[in-house]
Chain A
Amino acid sequence: MMWFTKKNRVDDVAKRLAHSPDFMCRRMRCRGKIVDVLFLSNLINHDHLQQNVLAFIHEQEDVSIDQLARCLPIGAIRICETEEEMASVIRDGWAVISIEKEKRALAVNIAEKVERSLEKAETESLVLGPKMSFTESIDTNIRILRQNITDEHLVTEKITIGERNKLEVRVVYIQDVADETNVQTVKQRLSELHIDEVIDSSVLAQLLDDHAYTIFPQYLLTELPDRLAYSLMKGRIGIFVDRSPTVIICPTTFFSFFETTEDIYLRWTMSTILRAVRMLGIFASIFLSPLYVAVITYHYEVIPSALLLTIGESRSRVPFPPVIEALFLEFMIELLREAGARLPTKVGQTMGIVGGIVLGQAAVDAGFTSNVLIIIVALSALGSFTAPSYEMGATIRILRFPIILLAALWGLVGIFIGVSLLLIHLLKLTSLGRPYLSPIYPFRLADMKYAFMRLPIKFYSERPKTNRPKNSRRFSWREAMKRKDLDE
């Protein structure tokens, strides 16, 4: 009868594991008892199994679940009551020790997870500052975070999502800084997700979006631990997703997509100017080509007389209307970028040269486009690459096309219609229920220093109001403004 139960348990677990070929049951006889050790051989560390489990059990005087639970030299153990529970822990790489005549079984964690080593960040590259980036393992990521933030109020709450493919998600924030409502919103949205699986944090970010029908990203994705730490300390919330090297930061504003951590590492004068250059580049990136189309099609009066001949001569060779010319060239640049991104790095570089120089020159010689437009399109492509966030860069590149079309329809008036619609849209957007265009609307003067410039650090004694921090004080403004003399 007993034997029957025993056999039944192993079979039952095997059935629950869909008869995986790597499922193993090591049956031993110790001190007159039959001991089964069940595990998936692909998931575990075999050295660990032999030395700390199998050998250890053999050496024991008394073999029972209670005794093993007390003595096994393994950190993570748990007692399993049902076969279902056993199967699920085995799937995570644990080994289950089952002893005959005992109803309960002991599970020990001897899993060995595959992960790559810590590397430099690829999508967000920095010149100054720490270079380490997050990896695909949530345990490593949390470890990196804890090394970055030693604040005792750091909370890392665990939530599991995905109905079929279970996924561990950690909501991290500083308890006495982050806004309660924001934290509640994140947790509620996560727990209300009814979806079979989530592949990556970028997918989760889309699922958490306030507005699905918009071109603008509402959550910041970063792979830089220092950026996450900075955001958390300013009252934002981070979401770690297992198996994903990017972390979601929320809530965000439009302007947080143009900040990099390098702005903080550089001295304030440089970073203010660099940020202005970036903003200008992005502005030019959206409006240069539409302006060209509008001016050439409708408003030749505004061309300065010194430029009139240059533009006129290069245009006279082109058989297409300006809008077709501009769209053609913009399309070519997008094609180059996309091809470069899909190809391996080495081939990608050749692509850049072939596309940029050969195609560009040939297009002008063949009379497909004008010289002036090549410069404009190249400039605006360059401008869009200065956006520190990859998502925002892509948004800006796409934004150009409707505005070019509007410019072709109604000239400058069309561009202004486009800008107005864009502004209306941006004003309506929210991220985690918080206004997207803050600090411009709602107007928050104190936050301007965070969004548009960088002042000396002593001016940042308050956390940005946009994040609604519970505790906005960072340090004493009065202390910071004191002059420190050398002889003190």
Chain B
Amino acid sequence: MKWLIACMLLLSGCVSPRVLERQGIITTAGFDKKGNLYEVGSVMLSFQTAGSSMSEVIEATNKTSKGARQDLEAQTSHDLGSGQIRVVLYGKELAEKDGIFSLTDTLQRDANIGSLVYLAVAEPSAKQVVKSKKHEDTPDIGTYLYRLIEKNLRSESLLAATLHEFIHSYYDVGKDPVLPCLSLRDDKPIIEKVALFRGDKFVGTVRLDESFYIKMLASEYNTGLKNITVSRDEVAPLLIKKKGKKVNIVMNEIRTKRKITFVSQKPTPHFRVTVKMQTEILEMSEKMKPIMQANIHVLERAIEKQMKKEIEQLLAKLKAYKTDPIGFGQIYDHSVRKLQLTPKQWDKLYQDTQIDVDVNVSILRTGTID
């Protein structure tokens, strides 16, 4: 019996080996749509015997993404392996017209691909970003994009970019996904904007400084930098010169805590957003009087007022795009008893939702000068 089992194990069930150096390792893939056909561009990394390894962009056009994959296979002597795929790009046009769910779904189903793959929208098209030759010191464009997004997620204003988070937000009622939006400057891919989605369709972008507020409201925010412009009148007691342009203040080491409370359901949904922020001042565009315990609140109030204004502007913009990346709908759904919220219902309610914003800034340090 023992030997029978041993023989069965030895003779069957062998997986075909995928030896590392035989693989053409795809680090990034970009999808566009032209008419009926998908255009796929992949960055393939192959290891070289002599010198540094090289990356190569291969392209194919087909009706389905997996069909395009077969066409790609025909173009290389290596086995294409998608196990190391780090970033998947979707062209803006594709994301706007067709939605990207069918493409993310196949990624999710593929056991070789982890759910921590980064997704991003590319402007003007995924193909152009993938074909970019400028990738700093990284060996290929895929690794560059991966590090670019990772860094900005960790320390800057990007909110979410992984496949897992996208799928999660997509299926969640009352919450819409966001993705980073890559664009080219001097042929080098950079993150300039954040793409907003409704369901799986791209609806518009916000600037990174606006995305700061989305991130602040959607999650706890730690570290990072924020530039805020306040009018002269607000900080008049602190100023030495009486005339000039607006005053710019840069805050660093920002720590925020946010609380969204559902106030009332009727007549329209009513939320109160409370943000508590602790920060330090890093830079000011103008010379000021020494900031003491007595007059620090002047600065704090001015920042609070400006921030409240900016958040309200952003919320209005999100309403105009009919997208809800912060997840008010989710809170509504959780807070109202015996309610099975549908996306349609929330779309209607969202437009009339009243959101009060309350910002509370406390400046802990004003820099090491004092």
A interface residues, Cβ below 8 angstroms from B: 296-301, 303, 305, 308-309, 311-313, 315-318, 321-322, 409-411, 417
Q: In whole angstroms, what is the CA distance A326 to B19 when docked?
A: 14
Contact of A321 among B15, B19, B23, B84 (CB under 8 A): B19
- The digit string for B77-111, where 1 denotes a CB below 8 A from any CB of A, is 00001011010000000000000000000000000
User: Assuming A301-B84, A316-B48, is B18 touching A309 (CB within 8 A)?
Assistant: no
Identify the closest chain A residue to B142 (Cβ).
A305
A residues in contact with B10, CB < 8 Å: 409
7 more A-B contacts (CB under 8 A) besides A312-B53, A318-B21, A417-B9? A297-B17, A298-B18, A300-B23, A300-B81, A305-B84, A316-B21, A317-B49
Q: Is B364's CB within 8 Å of the partner chain A?
A: no
Complex CA gap A417/B139 in Å reads 37
Is B112 close to A, CB under 8 A? yes
- Give chain A nearest CB distance to B188 CB in angstroms: 20
A301 near B48 (CB under 8 angstroms)?
A: no
Shortest Cβ distance from B114 into A: residue: A301
CA distance A321 to B17 in the complex (A): 10
Contact A316 B47 (CB under 8 A): yes
Instruction: For the complex, give the distance between the alpha carbons of A454 and B52 in Å.
Output: 50
- Say yes or no for B38: interface residue by CB 8 A criterion: no
A-B pairs, top 3 by smallest CB distance, nearest first, are A301-B83, A316-B47, A312-B47
Q: Is B170 at the interface (CB under 8 A from chain A)?
A: no
Is the beta-carbon distance between A313 and B20 smaller than 8 angstroms?
no
Task: Tell whether B143 is near chain A: CB-to-CB under 8 Å.
Answer: yes
Question: In the complex the two chains form, what is the Cα distance from A245 to B45 in whole Å?
Answer: 61
Nearest Cβ distance between residue B54 and chain A, in whole angstroms?
11
Which B residues are CB-close (under 8 A) to A303?
Answer: 20, 84
Residues in chain B near residue A316, CB distance under 8 A? 21, 47-49, 53
Q: A316-B21, A321-B17 are in contact. Are A300 and B49 (CB under 8 A)?
A: no
Least CB distance from A413 to B in Å reads: 9
Chain A to chain B contacts (Cβ below 8 Å), 26 pairs: A297-B19, A297-B20, A298-B15, A300-B18, A300-B23, A301-B84, A303-B20, A305-B143, A308-B84, A309-B139, A311-B20, A312-B20, A312-B53, A313-B47, A313-B48, A316-B47, A316-B49, A317-B49, A321-B17, A321-B19, A322-B19, A322-B20, A409-B14, A410-B13, A410-B14, A417-B9
B361 within 8 A of A: no
What's the nearest-Cβ distance from chain B to residue A294, in Å?
Answer: 10
B15:A410 contact, CB within 8 angstroms = yes
> For B114, what are the chain A residues with a Cβ–Cβ distance below 8 Å?
301
- Report which residue of B21, B48, B49 has the largest number of chain A beta carbons within 10 angstroms of its beta carbon: B21
- Chain B positions within 8 Å of A305 at CB level: 27, 84, 86, 143, 146
Contact code string B54-92 (vs A, CB < 8 Å = 1, else 0)? 000000000000000000000000000101101000000
CB nearest neighbor in B for A318: B21
Known: A298-B15, A301-B83, A410-B15. A315 touches B21 (CB 8 A): yes
In the bound complex, CA of A277 to CA of B190 (Å) = 46
| Residue numbers in B under 8 Å from A417 (CB-CB) | 9
* B10, B13, B47, most chain A CB atoms within 10 A: B47
A171 to chain B, nearest CB (A): 38
Interface pair A300/B17, CB less than 8 Å apart: no
CB nearest to A417 among chain B residues = B9
Given A300-B25, A303-B84, verify A315-B47 contact (CB < 8 Å): yes
A301–B85 CA distance with the chains assembled, in angstroms: 9
Q: CB within 8 A of A309: which of B13, B15, B53, B112?
A: B53
Minimal beta-carbon separation of A195 from chain B (angstroms)? 32
* Residues on the A chain within 8 Å of B146, using CB: 305
Q: Contacts A301-B83, A313-B53, A317-B49; is A411 near B15 (CB within 8 Å)?
A: yes
A102 CB, min distance to chain B CBs, angstroms:
70
B165-180 CB contacts (< 8 Å) to partner A = none
What CA separation (Å) do A309 and B55 show in the bound complex? 11
Find the A residue at minimum CB distance from B85.
Answer: A301
Tell me, in angstroms, the Cα distance from A301 to B45 when the chains sit together: 14
A315 CA / B18 CA spacing, docked (Å): 13
Tell me if B14 and A312 are in contact (CB < 8 A): no
Closest to A316 in B: B47
Instruction: Give min CB distance, B52 to chain A, whole Å.
Output: 8
Kindly report which residue of chain A lies nearest to residue B17, judged by CB atoms: A297
- Distance to closest chain B CB from A422 (angstroms): 15
Most buried by B among A300, A315, A409: A300
Residues of B within 8 A of A322 (CB): 19-20
Of the residues B17, B21, B139, contact of A298 by C-beta under 8 Å = B17
- In the bound complex, what is the Cα–Cα distance between A322 and B45 (angstroms)? 20
Instruction: Name B22-58 residues within 8 Å CB distance of A.
Output: 23, 25, 27, 45, 47-49, 52-53
- In the assembled complex, the CB of A487 is this many whole angstroms from the nearest CB of chain B, namely 52
Chain B residues within an 8 Å CB radius of A318: 21
The answer to whether A300 and B84 touch (CB under 8 A), given A309-B53, A313-B47, A317-B49, is yes
- Which residues on A sit within 8 Å (CB–CB) of B20? 296-297, 300, 303, 311-312, 315, 322
In the complex, what distance in Å separates the CA atom of A168 from the CA atom of B237? 103
For the complex, give the distance between the alpha carbons of A297 and B23 in Å. 11
With the chains together, A311 CA to B23 CA distance in Å? 13
CA distance in complex: A322, B17 (Å):
11
Question: Nearest Cβ in chain B — how far from A402, in angstroms?
Answer: 13
Report the minimum CB–CB distance from A372 to chain B (whole Å). 11
Bound together, the chains give a CA A409 to CA B9 distance in angstroms of 10
**A296 contacts which chain B residues (CB < 8 A)?**
19-20
Residue of B nearest to A322 (CB): B19
Write out the residue numbers on chain A whose beta carbons fall within 8 Å of the beta carbon of B13.
410
Q: Are B48 and A308 in contact (CB under 8 A)?
A: no
Smallest CB–CB gap between A416 and chain B, Å?
13
Q: How many angstroms from the CA of A312 to the CA of B25 in the assembled complex?
A: 10
Query: What are the residues of chain B within 8 A of A315 when measuring CB–CB?
Result: 20-21, 47
Name which residue of chain A comes closest to B146, CB basis: A305
Complexed CA–CA distance, A321 and B21 (Å) = 10
Chain A residues with CB under 8 Å of B9's CB are 417
B97 CB → nearest A CB, Å: 33
Residues of B within 8 A of A297 (CB): 17-20
Partner among B15, B52, B83, B86 whose Cβ is within 8 Å of the Cβ of A300: B83
Cα–Cα distance between A305 and B55 once the two chains are bound (Å) = 14
Q: By the criterion CB–CB under 8 Å, are B112 and A301 in contact?
A: yes
B27: A residues at CB distance < 8 A: 305
Q: Is the CB–CB distance between B21 and A312 below 8 Å?
A: yes
A190 to chain B, nearest CB (A): 34
